[in-house]
Amino acid sequence: MKLLQRIGKGWLVVLISLSLLSAGIVLEYIIQPHWFINVTRFIWYAAAYIPVGIPVLWKGIRIAFRGDVFTEFMLMSIATLGAFFIGEYPEGVAVMLFYSVGEIFQDAAVGRARRSIKALLDVRPDSTNVLRDGRYVTVASSEVGVGETIQIKVGERVSLDGELISEESSFNTAALTGESKPRTIDKGEAVLAGMINEQKVVEVRTTKLFNDSSLSRILTLVQDATFRKAPTELFIRKFARVYTPIVVFLAAALTMLPYFFVNDYEFSTWLYRALIFLVISCPCALVIAIPLGYFGGIGAASHHGILFKGSNYLDLMSKVDTIVMDKTGTLTKGVFKVQSVEATSDESEWIPLVAALESHSTHPIAKAVVEYAGNVFETVQVTSVEEIKGHGLKGIVDGHNVLAGNLALLDKFGIDASESVHSESDTIVVVAVNNKFVGSITIADELKEDSKETIQRMHSLNLKTIILSGDHQGVVNRIAQDLIIDEAYGDLLPEQKAAKVVEIMSGKKDPTVFVGDGINDAPVLAVSDVGIAMGALGSDAAIETADVVIQTDQISKIITAINISKNTKRIVWQNISLAFGVKLIVLALGAGGIATMWEAVFADVGVALLAISNAVRIQKI
């Protein structure tokens, strides 16, 4: 039993059949004992055939009873039983033996692809330490409710999505993002299932159930992706259903028709040629290796933190010619920082006043001002704060009337700003103290480290690049100029972005990709040929709406996705060309009586194994 487990049932059956076949060939062609003839010879080769032949025969019969008669299992059964009928026992056994070897390799290749994805994503711990009645107890992760406190020790994997309630810690996010660099998460920030705690024991307050975690959603997404087929894959499956019955009838014709045209017609000769024809024409190389190629592409992308919702999107990415991108959070970090301060009076006098006033706002620009000021405003007293919608803030700070906002705010109170402020393209906060303009603060979003290189690589691939943003046109123009973007459109609402993408797509043959943050860009992601959500790990809106989800903030992953899709398509078409090319050559040779059953075995099983080996390469990208 241990030997069976170690070798594997499939391989043990093959070894038994191979041993009997080899011994039979040695007896028949080398030793040639007088007793190895007729019935004895038939029984010997039948014993070699049964271990590998009966499973295939039985499978073909079961599928035939379900209405699908013309399958590769039935083709192999007809061909090998026909070989026995005309006395070509060794070749009949060899065909079924090598076909079984091919099936084992096919199963192993598919299993490897599935395991690589499952190992990458299904890394949720089955048990969790949860705080109950003042102490931590170990329970099944599926029994932990929302709002409970769980403990994650050093080296342990987080089992459920939650919020860090301990001080900061370092987490390995490789299972989710494909990135080996640890990420520091601060108190109050999201911690996701699948991350590994690397620094110290921490506590997390759960925000989702075990089966609702981001990792569970991603695992489901990748598994479902295998059911969304690419056009090439769908065509091959439909083709095989039409192709197989045709070759069966052609094989029958090859057996019978020569009777009417050949003077020295021998039934066994033409039957043998027809059997070769059947073996060669078996479509298993196409039916298995092509879906395996696409499955391998999805697995390779998952390894890089890129999730395709189906092989159809993998196919589309290989043909894309236009990349449309959001600005904030896609090309830029989405984090505002103070770039410069222009002052008409001593900056140290009014910066604390502005920072104290802005500390009462949650706006990202206000936070940038507060961060720039540091702790200089901690002793400053704010008596009153009024938000003037669309303009900024007004308040009394340390007895001074302070205004902080846009130029329209100063216009509203009849205060003139300097001329340089009016020509500024970046976001600015103008400041007035006691109805007098005292200076301005220039604030801008930072470009991501890989944005410039990624745009250059897009241009090298002859991709057209476009920015669509809700930010001011001047800001968008500056970013486009810095990155050398082909076209840039600003001041757009989400519905205007969607309309613009539809306009870009109209009349185009090749697909258009839109890249956004997956939440406020949901309408655009939905209308584009391929919608890519950037840095959207944990975002339900992104996973639901986008066709492709990139789990990190790296825009360079778009290039990775395109390269994987192109490699996948290239390997798939290599397999199609290989299978058809070899089969057509050997079919012609077989019909002419030149090729034997051994060449037929190579044309079927050999080509299938070559195609599978080629498809497996995708998983190493």
pLDDT attached to residue 364: 75
453 versus 516: the higher-pLDDT residue is 453
pLDDT attached to residue 4: 42
In this structure, the answer to whether residues 10 and 103 fall within a common structural domain is: yes
In this structure, the answer to whether residues 50 and 9 fall within a common structural domain is: yes
- Around Cβ 420, how many Cβ atoms within 10 Å? 10
342-362 average pLDDT score: 87
What's CA 52's distance to the chain center, in Å? 37
In this structure, the answer to whether residues 368 and 425 fall within a common structural domain is: yes
Residue 322 lies in a domain: no
In this structure, the answer to whether residues 107 and 131 fall within a common structural domain is: no
Domain that holds residue 435: 333-446
Q: Give me 594's structure tokens.
A: 């030149």
Residue 553 lies in a domain: no
In this structure, the answer to whether residues 337 and 442 fall within a common structural domain is: yes
What's CA 466's distance to the chain center, in Å? 24
| Contact partners, residue 577, CB within 8 Å, separation at least 6 | none
pLDDT attached to residue 259: 87
518 versus 134: the higher-pLDDT residue is 134
CA–CA dist 216, 221 (Å, integer):
8
pLDDT attached to residue 8: 59
Q: Are 397 and 356 in contact (CB under 8 A)?
A: yes
Residue 492 lies in a domain: no
Top-ranked range on mean pLDDT: pick from 33-47, 172-186, 433-447: 33-47
Segment 475-504, tens digit of pLDDT = 888 889 999 999 999 888 777 888 899 999
Locus of tokens 């100063």: 410
Residue 374 lies in a domain: yes
Out of 446, 478, 508, a domain closes at 446
Out of 183, 211, 239, a domain closes at 211
pLDDT classification of 5: cutoffs 50, 70, 90: very low
pLDDT classification of 139: cutoffs 50, 70, 90: very high
pLDDT classification of 204: cutoffs 50, 70, 90: very high
DSSP 328: B
pLDDT attached to residue 3: 40
CATH code, domain with 197:
2.70.150.10
565-576 average pLDDT score: 88
Q: Which of 286, 282, 293, 281 is nearest to 237 (CA)?
A: 286
In this structure, the answer to whether residues 276 and 338 fall within a common structural domain is: no
In this structure, the answer to whether residues 28 and 159 fall within a common structural domain is: no
Q: Are 586 and 595 in contact (CB under 8 A)?
A: yes
219-239 average pLDDT score: 58
Q: List, in sequence order, every residue forming a beta bridge with 110; answer none if it has no partner.
A: none
Q: Which of 245, 262, 278, 282 is nearest to 590 (CA)?
A: 278
582-596 average pLDDT score: 78
Out of 446, 475, 503, a domain closes at 446
| Contact partners, residue 219, CB within 8 Å, separation at least 6 | 118, 121, 122
pLDDT classification of 619: cutoffs 50, 70, 90: low
536-541 average pLDDT score: 58
pLDDT attached to residue 230: 54
521 part of the active site: no
In this structure, the answer to whether residues 284 and 198 fall within a common structural domain is: no
Q: How many domains does the chain have?
A: 3
pLDDT classification of 566: cutoffs 50, 70, 90: very high
371-385 average pLDDT score: 85
Q: Are 530 and 505 in contact (CB under 8 A)?
A: no
Residue 559 lies in a domain: no
Q: How many CA atoms lie within 13 A of 287 on its CB side?
A: 20
296-303 average pLDDT score: 81
pLDDT classification of 93: cutoffs 50, 70, 90: confident
pLDDT attached to residue 111: 61
In DSSP notation, 567-584 reads: HHHHHHHHHHHHHHHHHH
pTM above 0.85, yes or no: no
Q: Which of these is catalytic: 326, 445, 517, 547?
A: 326
pLDDT attached to residue 6: 40
In this structure, the answer to whether residues 52 and 132 fall within a common structural domain is: no
Residue 150 lies in a domain: yes
294-306 average pLDDT score: 81
pLDDT attached to residue 7: 43
CA–CA dist 523, 349 (Å, integer):
46
In this structure, the answer to whether residues 429 and 577 fall within a common structural domain is: no
CATH code, domain with 348:
3.40.1110.10
323-338 average pLDDT score: 84
pLDDT attached to residue 452: 94
Residue 48 lies in a domain: yes
pLDDT for 280 beyond 60: yes
C-alpha distance across the termini of the chain, in Å: 38
Pairing relation of β-strands 464-468 and 487-489?
parallel
In this structure, the answer to whether residues 155 and 252 fall within a common structural domain is: no
Residue 220 lies in a domain: no
pLDDT attached to residue 181: 64
In this structure, the answer to whether residues 17 and 98 fall within a common structural domain is: yes
